[in-house]
Amino acid sequence: MHLPIVLVVLIIMMASLGKASAHELPQYCETSCGNVSITFPFGSGPGCYYSDEFRVTCNRSHSDGPTLLLRASNIVITNLSISTGEIEVTSYVAHDCYDSNGLRDENTSNDPSFTLMYFQVSTKNRFVAIGCNADANILGSRGDESYGTGCISVCDNTSSITNGSCSGIGCCEVKIPEGIGAFNLSVSNFFNHTSDVLDFNPCSHAFVVNQEYNYFNFSSTNLQNFQSIKEMPMLLDWAIGNETCEIASQDTKNFLCKGNSECIEEYAGPGYRCRCKQGYAGNPYLKDNCTNINECQLEGIDVCLHKCEDTIGNYTCSCPRGYSGDGRKYGSGCTVKQSFVIMISICTSVAGLFLLLLFTWIYLGLKRHKNLILREKFFKQNGGIMLQQRISGVGGSQIQAKLYTVEELEKATNNYDQSRIIGKGGYGTVFKGILPDDKIVAIKQSRIADQTQTQTQVDQFINEVLILSQINHRNVVKLIGCCLETEVPSLVYEFIPNGTLFDHIHNECKSKAITWDIRLRIATETAGALSYLHFAASVPIIHRDVKPMNILIDSCYAAKVADFGASKLIPMDQNELATMVQGTLGYLDPEYFHTGQLTEKSDVYSFGVVLVELLTGKKIVDFSKPEKERHLTKSFIASLENGILLEVLDENLQLKEVPHDIVLVSRLAQRCLHVKGDERPTMKEVALELEGISALMIDRHPWVKSTSNEEATEYLLNGPSEDSEDTDDADTSPNAFFSIICMPKITPMTGRRYR
């Protein structure tokens, strides 16, 4: 045989081995080089790689140890991946450095190149430049097209740099477009390096780097010591050939995606890639290398709810007995069969019914016994025995109120539903209740916060029962009954439907509806009720918490004094009583506050504050105002003394000048607010004076039309009005009107001073 013919045959044989199909992978092929695995279609020996572009060489004499090179070039491969179709290689870094004199170092490399024929630079890479006046560029090619881009990085000092950010200050970056197969890097400085810059930035640098796993994270220290870095990791995309899956699959001999692998085109470059089908794992480029995965035995994977059975390319799950479904943890799961449910339900129902009857019988018996013990305990705890003793100790008076059971009050309030709450105070919560006879009542549930206050609050509760049981006045809220059988005792009152005086004064809509006539009548009725408590009750009673919140208004705008939780009974032989100071800020008698001596004049002071509130329509204490204006009573008295009363009166009264009767009420309020109790009128005098002022306003009396105030006073002295006899404590003595007689002649005012 001639020599040329032998050479031709050898060349043909070598070519056939260099492009081995998936059927013919020799056993002697290297599988690793250093820490890098070598997997077909890559290989290093004849027949071990698919085509020449996938040929690799293992340099075992490299100073850093065995190094895998692409096609015997200087391109170092650091990782091969057949699942993603990528290889990680090292790319050069371009440097442009200056010496201590600010002169460029000609030995630095500022234009490294990277050339590939069958691979493309992955878009997961970034082109990065580092430096304080760096001008970096990348020039590349995409087939027959050229590509170029770059970025500029500037900075004056390291303090302006943000670590981890490549936004242009000390570091800049741009994306790599698709399809780049070759490129050149260049970097230069657009300003000469001066000594102050050289201290922290002697060089500028440019490189392409894989940023998928944050291989590079910029730091200000890179400006000074990055010149020692020669290479950076970069990703390359690869695929088989240049044809699509559809065209390549027609060549059945050389098409690699066979057996349990499938062809995919999920990237922008030319050629095709192979992938094992779902349920299989292995190298999809080798025939029959994609083998079945046993999902049931994979560590850390719990795919079934009950039992798992592996199948070819998949798995099946089964459910326990009595359940149906696919049994998969992330599928429809397992559900109970209807027949099984019925059987279990019947057995459970029979057993449950028996146990229910047994436990119900035991529970009801124990509950009945426990309730009897609890009711007796609560009756004693809530002062039932104390109430009986105190009733017998005040002259044998009997409580006329009804004792209600727990069930009656729970039914009346719908188990004390929150929607039934109509008010809350310092001594309890008030619910709206409906009794079996459809009578609407107000049920006050006493407030017991903790054991340290229990005895005090029980005393207040019993005190309120005792006081209300002795009061029979049309302007005092009526006690209907009480309940002592629960942990929290309750009182049952008549229901007053129109809210509190506080609501009517300070609610903008309601305040317009209560004219001065109505306000005066409310004040008169309230004064009459307090006068009754002080002088007509069998044992004098001091309310101790007179304020608009404790004055209820019915549908006819009649006043009802309520909330006697803080009230005190005053023995007949005593004029004052030493007690712990108790009341509401703004309404509290200052003399009582400082001395602790409670007298009937304490209620007079509080009522004077109520009069001021009725006249002005403002809150007594307002901390949002300056300190001098926070207390309304002070500014009210000052306006009265300075003749500018009109300025503080309620705007809803719509007054252009101050009527004579308002001046009289204002003067009365002033006397009630004297600091010394001895200088205040009694509640009886206040009530009678208000009745006299009310009588002056009744147009049907002929003396109202008199132009002389003295004539009106004379009429009052000779014959008081019938309205002054509404209560048992009415007094027709001329002395009752002493304050009116002593008043100087007062003319209506329009904001001017008067005397």
The CA distance from 592 to 602, in Å, is: 7
| CB-based burial, 623-643: b 16+ in 10 Å, e otherwise | eeeeeeebbbbebbbebbeee
Q: Nearest Cα to 493, choosing from 404, 414, 558?
A: 404
DSSP string, 365-384: HHHHHHHHHHHHHHHHHTTH
Question: Parallel, antiparallel, or unpaired: how do β-strands 323-324 and 335-336 relate?
Answer: antiparallel
Based on the residue annotation, tell me whether 417 is a catalytic residue of this protein.
no
Q: Is 445 helix (H, G, I), strand (E, B) or coil?
A: strand
DSSP 3-state of 324 = strand
Give CA–CA dist 744/755, Å, rounded: 8
Indicate the helix (H) or strand (E) that contains 145. strand 145-154
116 DSSP 8-state letter: -
Contact predicate 413/495, CB 8 Å? no
Q: Answer yes or no: are the C-beta atoms of 274 and 256 closer than 8 Å.
A: yes
Cα–Cα distances in angstroms (integers) from residue 221 to residues 129, 171, 202, in the given order: 14, 12, 12
Q: Which of 135, 545, 563, 726 is catalytic?
A: 545
As a 3-state breakdown, the chain gives helix, strand, coil percent values, each rounded to 5, of 35, 25, 45
CB 403 within 8 A of CB 480: no
Q: What is the CA radius of gyration of the chain?
A: 51
Cα(246)–Cα(740) distance, integer angstroms: 115
C-alpha distances out from residue 431 to 32, 174, 555, 563, Å: 86, 72, 18, 14
Smallest CA-to-CA distance from 153 within 179, 191, 121, 122 is with 191
Q: H helices of 105-199, where?
A: 195-198
Cα–Cα distance for residue pair 567/563, rounded to 1 Å: 8
Side chain identity, residue 589: D
Kindly write down the DSSP assignment for every residue of 308-323, as one continuous string.
EEEETTEEEEE--TTE
**CA–CA separation, 628 vs 635, rounded Å?**
8
Instruction: Note if the bond before 41 is cis, omega within 30 degrees.
Output: yes
For residue 217, what are the CA distances in angstroms to 150, 199, 653, 678?
Answer: 19, 22, 76, 87
The Cα 709–Cα 703 span in angstroms is 10
Determine the length of the chain: 755
Facing residues of 500 across strands?
Answer: 552
DSSP 57-92: EEETT-TTSSEEEETTSS-EEEEEETTTTEEEEEEE
Q: Are 510 and 501 in contact (CB under 8 A)?
A: no
Q: How far apart are CA 276 and CA 376, in angstroms?
A: 82
244 to 118, 119, 264, 423: CA distances (angstroms):
15, 16, 9, 82
Q: Which helix (H) or strand (E) holds 518?
A: helix 516-535
CA distance 150 to 137: 4
DSSP 726: S
Taking a C-beta distance cutoff of 8 angstroms, is the pair 206, 136 a contact? Answer: yes
CA-to-CA dists, residue 507 to 453, 524, 649, angstroms: 34, 22, 16
Residues serving a catalytic function are 545
